[in-house]
Chain A
Amino acid sequence: MTWLVWRQHRNQAYIAAAFLAAFAVLLLVTGRQMASQYESARSACAAAHTCANLANTLILDSPVLSLLVTLTVVVPCLLGVFWGGPLVARELETGTSQFAWMQSITRTRWLTAEVGWALLAAAACGGAVSALVTWWSSPLNALNHQNFEPSQFDIQGIVPVGYALFAVALGIAAGTLIRRTLPAMAVTLVVFTFLRLVVGQDFRSHFLTARTLTFSFLHPQHHPLLPAGSYWLISAGLVGPAGQVASGPNSGGAGLNFDGIPISLGAMPATCRTLVFQASREFGSCMASRGYHGLISYQPAGRYWAFQGIETGVFVVLAAALIAVTAIVVRRRDA
């Protein structure tokens, strides 16, 4: 079966390998430049004691390259649409399944080989792209502490592997059920995009219970109580003197950026509000004397890999369920 699978899909494999190789060369070259640039900037700022401000002064990546790296978020979707969708659907559509299924092998063995290699290739592709992006982004991660940002989280670590497995499994299942290539590809695109967005926006922040933290405004710079590293800020607000919580999540509108934490102006006492853009020390004592504290809920930086693992697990389980459905349908339904 392996020979058949390879003969059927070798062109796709060559195309993917070519893209991957080009992408790898690009990222390896620019990634090394970025890393050395970051290192020299680090030693320079350490000598000048200005490292706290480094994130605001140092720009490592070019916009074009950043865009390209950000666009790797669509790689799993492409794999699902162009590898998964046609895998079974095209065989059913052109009738070649009748050729394959009348050789002296069970459909289960046929499906195991076709699906197994497809999933393996998808995981390898997703993993390779993600490994390159993760390595390439490491100076940026160290600099910007934005690992939990969807634009970073979704293209680094192990989640792209889970996405790729799920996308390809979705394509295979859709093709098996719909039995036509183009509709299967369309369904894969829509369902995958929808699920990714729903999980990313609505479920991810609830994977683990967020921690909360109140802090005083007295120490504007480098508050020792604030979480360290690339933590994920879920919401920020104020606790008033009577314990009431003012202001909602970190929505837009005018606000104060307190050490990276947005505090909306509307919730502050009016007298302190006028001090916001003046001396920060006065603002801090104004808030403290009126009994106002900052309140945030957040996921600590140390949970990054737990979140990566949970999200990957969710998509791998979904992929497994889809493959199980596919196997049942292929075995039971008429060719």
Chain B
Amino acid sequence: MMATSDPVVIETRGLSKRYRTVTALSDCTITVPEGRISALIGPNGAGKTTLLRLLAGLARPTSGEAAVLGSTPRQAPAFLADIGFLAQEIPLYRRFTAEDHIAVGAHLNPRWDGKSVRQRLESLGIPLDQTVGTLSGGQRAQVALALTLAKRPRLLLLDEPVAALDPLARRQFLAQLAEAVAAGGLTVVLSSHLLADLERTCDHLILLAAAHVQLCGDIDALLAEHQVLVGPRKDTTALERDHTLVQAVRTPRQTTLLIRRNGPVIDPAFQAEDVGLEELVLGYMGQQARPGPAGRTGPAGRTGPAAPTAGTAGSHLTSIGDDQ
């Protein structure tokens, strides 16, 4: 377990971002303590990118406030020097070589570790003197990640950083990330759809769906708070009164409940099981499909990989059972 007294690196209150007709993020209140690797998870269009951009100061909130490393995200060298942000599109100057990018970073940042970039890329066999436009997508991602790390930031905000990497590179990168965080002084928020990877690396979770925060906290604590109950088909009103029901799957024979506990569960009819990260995440995502009565039903994706279908906010990743 993490010490709960770690200083807070990210704190937002009621953060909202509206574009003309779309609410990208609504009333987002989260806290991320120092030294965490936080997984930012949510279906497509849930507001992950918007949240990261607000935290980096690239976008301004419509309402609410954010404190990042003790100050409001802003266009100031002192703030920007502490933030490493990597956008999903991996923006690099296509006609620049990696070496050119290293030189740019050296000119524009107070503490710049160009050597680390060269070492990283050389060990990966990525040429430094070739324009990045001619590199493969994965190689470009590696260049961009190395450049983001070379800033020596105190907070890393990574939007789908491993999406373009092959499984081995992905694992290596996440391991290096964990190493850097362990060395101290670094906090990471990374969004991804690859739950299995995140489970191995991350110790903190921010779950977004339909522009709202569903969950935010240390993963161990969240897992301990939740429980899966399996029992016969029966009335669960009493249970729902004592605990918060996240998701219920009812078949004629069996009821499976995902609950957030408020104290011990004392119902001998139900068998309590520990909950895994994937189960927890999918449970909350599935819950979001509720507003629409036409949500896809069926046990799809309950144990499958978190490969969300492209769709609107709060897409029915795993809308399970009849959830009245």
Contact = CB atoms under 8 A, between A and B. Distances in A.
Interface residues of B, number: 30
B105 A103 contact: yes
A98 B77 contact: no
A101 B107 contact: no
B234 interface: no
A3 B105 CA distance: 11
Given A7-B96, A99-B91, A99-B92, A334 B103 contact: no
Interface string A96-132: 1111111111111000000000000000000000000
A8 interface: yes
A107 B87 CA distance: 17
Contacts of B296: none
B249 interface: no
Contact of A96 (B75, B76, B83, B93): B93
Nearest to A11: B95
A291 interface: no
A326 B256 CA distance: 58
Interface string B72-105: 0001111011011101010111101000100111
Nearest to A331: B75
Which of B75, B76, B78, B83 has the most CB atoms of chain A within a 10 A radius of its CB?
B75
Contacts of B104: 3-4, 7, 103
A104 B81 contact: yes
Given A101-B58, A335-B58, A94 B91 contact: yes
A256 interface: no
Which of B53, B96, B108 has the most CB atoms of chain A within a 10 A radius of its CB?
B108
A96 B91 contact: yes
B243 interface: no
B110 to A, nearest CB: 6
A96 B90 CA distance: 9
A101 B85 CA distance: 10
Interface in B94-132: 94, 96, 100, 103-105, 107-110
A103 B94 contact: no
A334 B58 contact: yes
B60 interface: yes
A99 B93 contact: yes
Nearest to A104: B81
A164 B59 CA distance: 33
A1 interface: yes
B91 A98 contact: yes
Interface string B37-68: 00000000000000001001011100000000
B83 A95 contact: no
Given A103-B105, A104-B109, A107-B75, A98 B87 contact: yes
Contacts of B260: none
Nearest to A110: B108
Contact of A102 (B56, B78, B92, B100): B56
Given A3-B103, A331-B75, A103 B92 contact: no
A107 B56 CA distance: 13
Which of B53, B87, B91 has the most CB atoms of chain A within a 10 A radius of its CB?
B91
Contact of B85 (A4, A7, A8, A98): A98
Contacts of A106: 75-77
A8 B93 contact: yes
Contacts of B151: 103-104
Contacts of B84: 102
A99 B78 CA distance: 17
Nearest to A3: B107
Contacts of B80: 102-105
A103 B58 contact: no
A99 B93 CA distance: 9
Interface string A76-96: 000000000000000000111
12 contacts: A1-B108, A3-B104, A94-B94, A95-B87, A98-B85, A98-B91, A99-B91, A102-B58, A103-B104, A103-B109, A104-B110, A334-B53
Interface of A: 1, 3-4, 7-8, 94-108, 331-332, 334-335
Given A95-B87, A102-B56, A102-B58, 19 more contacts: A3-B104, A3-B107, A4-B104, A4-B107, A94-B91, A96-B91, A96-B92, A97-B91, A98-B91, A101-B58, A101-B75, A102-B84, A103-B104, A103-B151, A104-B78, A104-B80, A104-B110, A334-B59, A335-B59
